[in-house]
Amino acid sequence: MNEVAKHEIDGWLEKAVRADLLTAGGLTEDAAALKAAGALLYPNSLRRKDDTVCCLLRLGSARALGVFGPGAGFSGESRSLPGGGRALFCALSHENAESLRALLPWTAPSPLASQKTTIGLGDRLGVAGPGHIRTLEDRKAAPVLAQQSVRELDLTGRSYEDVLDSATWAVFQEGYERPWGADGDHLKTEEWVRTALGIGFTMITADVSDYIHGEKAALHGDELLAAYAGLPASFRRTLDAEFLSLRLTLDTGEEIRFDPEGLARAALVYGEALDHAERLYRAGVEAAGEGGFDFELSVDETDTPTTPEAHVFVAAECRRRNLGVTSLAPRFVGEFQKGIDYIGDVKEFEKSFAVHAAVARHFGYRISVHSGSDKFTVFPAVGRLTAGSFHIKTAGTNWLEAVLVIARLNPALYRRLHQGALDSFERATAYYHVTTDLGKIPALEDLSDAELPELFANSDARQLIHITYGELLRNTELKRDFFSCLEEHIEAYWQALQVHIGRHLDRLGI
């Protein structure tokens, strides 16, 4: 730890003595004293394991892990305590996070296959975790607190170690002992699957979009059957035997069956994607063992909505190949664009979604809704038609809430962020599909400081800020000022998340 941190340790010890926080050789466990010393530590983090007491401390503007007792496996600044004994003041490093997960297993993620309702809470900044945990404290849903794609890692300059550790420190800070997960989101390669699971992630979202041939869906008649005939004969024989006699009646009454053209189309569109899904799953088994991780299959990154027949084809093939799918994300009708409400006919969505939910029930996994941030108009249907058995992913809305807090509390900084977003918008569209119309966003010079938060009710403005996070965080000066402001108002940010994510959960019926 650096000299500034050492100085802060001295200040913390002095304040702790005055607050009667320290006993001979350790921390008091008196609830009243802990509450009175709330400015010095996070009381919910205080845990005793054998002869070691751990807690998360507040050292000025920073946080540190306090280890009182043997402290085996931790590294930090050792100090003598009044009355005897020693304590370690440890940086929130990856090595210390690993030691904490070993000492207190509930600070490590676990697979969530047995959970009925799960929600992915992508935290691109590494500081939203306490707000997420407080939101879910009295809710019947298991959170995936670490959720990040390789694209997001590249754009934010973070690592999977950092993403996992941020979630661990949040769980420890809040004393959250219920199951939680960590998702290597939208992974496309076997190498990344092994990497994420090797670091300690417990869920893989397999992105097979590069192998989905949506253009084959337009083939018909002799052209379609000729293309199917070009597939390996053994593969075709297996599919013919499995699907041409299939008569699947769902619990909603719909019957799914395949004629030769329907089977050929499904095989041509999804066959190679399933081969790649199998490669990714086998890589996961090599890294974590069978049943050692949650496996979500994503077929949503395509322009063509997944038909019920295609969903059944993918699910049945996964079962035949012994892929342990715990959730599956189809491409639904309408548009699930980033950071705004659903675009499309809600009744059409409900009708289609009901069938997809029934297929998921039949095959025994959760239906998954990607880009689930702020889709308030369809949330009630998702909760009702699944009877609460689903996975939903949010990410960008947590970033938007952080920027909204800045718009409210530091208008000058928000204006800089907004202008930076405008300047970098075109570059950001290379990563995200949006239909943003910049002409529909009011000009900054026409808005008073008090009016800036109203921009977040404007879909085009929301998407502008949503997709430019990577460009803004690459600006060293903006990034420094952004995090400094957010840290200053961190409790306001966590409270904002409780309200906003809480609204998501209310609409979903959680």
Is 0.85 topped by the overall pTM?
yes
SS3 59: strand
Give me the percent of the chain exceeding a pLDDT of 70. 98
Tens of pLDDT along 263-297?
A: 999 999 999 999 999 999 999 999 999 999 999 99
What is the average per-residue pLDDT within 153-163? 96
Compute the distance between CA of residue 174 and CA of residue 42 in angstroms, rounded to an integer.
8
The residue among 309, 171, 324 whose CA lies nearest residue 250 is 309
Q: Is the pLDDT of residue 312 over 90?
A: yes
- 2 pLDDT band (50/70/90 cuts)? low
Q: Is the pLDDT of residue 35 over 80?
A: no
| CB 404, CB 459: distance < 8 Å | no
Q: Is the pLDDT of residue 38 over 80?
A: no
Q: Is the pLDDT of residue 4 over 60?
A: no
Structure confidence at residue 27 (pLDDT): 84
What's the gap between Cα 114 and its chain centre?
Answer: 18
What is the average per-residue pLDDT within 293-310? 95
Q: Is the pLDDT of residue 371 over 70?
A: yes
Residue 433's contacts (CB-CB under 8 Å, 6 or more residues apart) are 337
Structure confidence at residue 71 (pLDDT): 76
Taken in order 455, 459, 464, 466, the sign of the CA dihedral is positive
- 62 pLDDT band (50/70/90 cuts)? confident
What distances in angstroms separate CA 374 from CA 288, 456, 507, one per listed residue? 34, 12, 10
What is the average per-residue pLDDT within 72-89? 89
Compute the distance between CA of residue 105 and CA of residue 91 in angstroms, rounded to an integer.
19
Angle formed by the axes of helices 260-288 and 308-320, to 10°?
A: 50
Q: Is the pLDDT of residue 20 over 70?
A: yes
The residue among 396, 341, 383 whose CA lies nearest residue 507 is 383
Compute the distance between CA of residue 156 and CA of residue 313 in angstroms, rounded to an integer.
37
Compute the distance between CA of residue 420 and CA of residue 481 in angstroms, rounded to an integer.
13
- Least confident range from 80-89, 162-171, 275-284, 392-401: namely 80-89
Tens of pLDDT along 105-150?
A: 999 999 999 999 999 999 999 999 999 999 999 999 999 999 999 9
Compute the distance between CA of residue 145 and CA of residue 112 in angstroms, rounded to an integer.
12
Compute the distance between CA of residue 109 and CA of residue 291 in angstroms, rounded to an integer.
14
Q: What is the CA radius of gyration of the chain?
A: 25
DSSP state of 171: H
Compute the distance between CA of residue 27 and CA of residue 130 in angstroms, rounded to an integer.
23
Taken in order 496, 497, 500, 503, the sign of the CA dihedral is negative
What distances in angstroms separate CA 387 from CA 116, 294, 327, 363, one per listed residue? 9, 21, 15, 16
Tens of pLDDT along 322-342?
A: 999 999 999 999 999 999 999
What's the gap between Cα 443 and its chain centre?
Answer: 33
Give me the percent of the chain exceeding a pLDDT of 90. 85
Q: Domain-by-domain residue ranges, the chain?
A: 3-92, 397-489
Tens of pLDDT along 342-364?
A: 999 999 999 999 999 999 999 99
- 51 pLDDT band (50/70/90 cuts)? confident
Question: Following CA atoms 262, 264, 270, 274 in sequence, which dihedral angle do they give, to the nearest 10 degrees?
Answer: 120
Tokens of 399: 């970033």
Structure confidence at residue 455 (pLDDT): 98
* Average pLDDT over the chain, rounded to an integer: 94
| CB 258, CB 246: distance < 8 Å | yes
| CB 365, CB 328: distance < 8 Å | yes
Say if strands 77-80 and 117-121 run parallel, antiparallel, or are unpaired. unpaired
- Least confident range from 36-50, 242-256, 399-413: namely 36-50
Tokens of 216: 């084959």
The residue among 390, 379, 420 whose CA lies nearest residue 507 is 379
What is the number of alpha carbons within 13 Å of residue 138 lying toward its C-beta?
A: 3
- 423 pLDDT band (50/70/90 cuts)? very high
Structure confidence at residue 31 (pLDDT): 65
List the catalytic residues: 185, 296
What is the average per-residue pLDDT within 201-220? 96
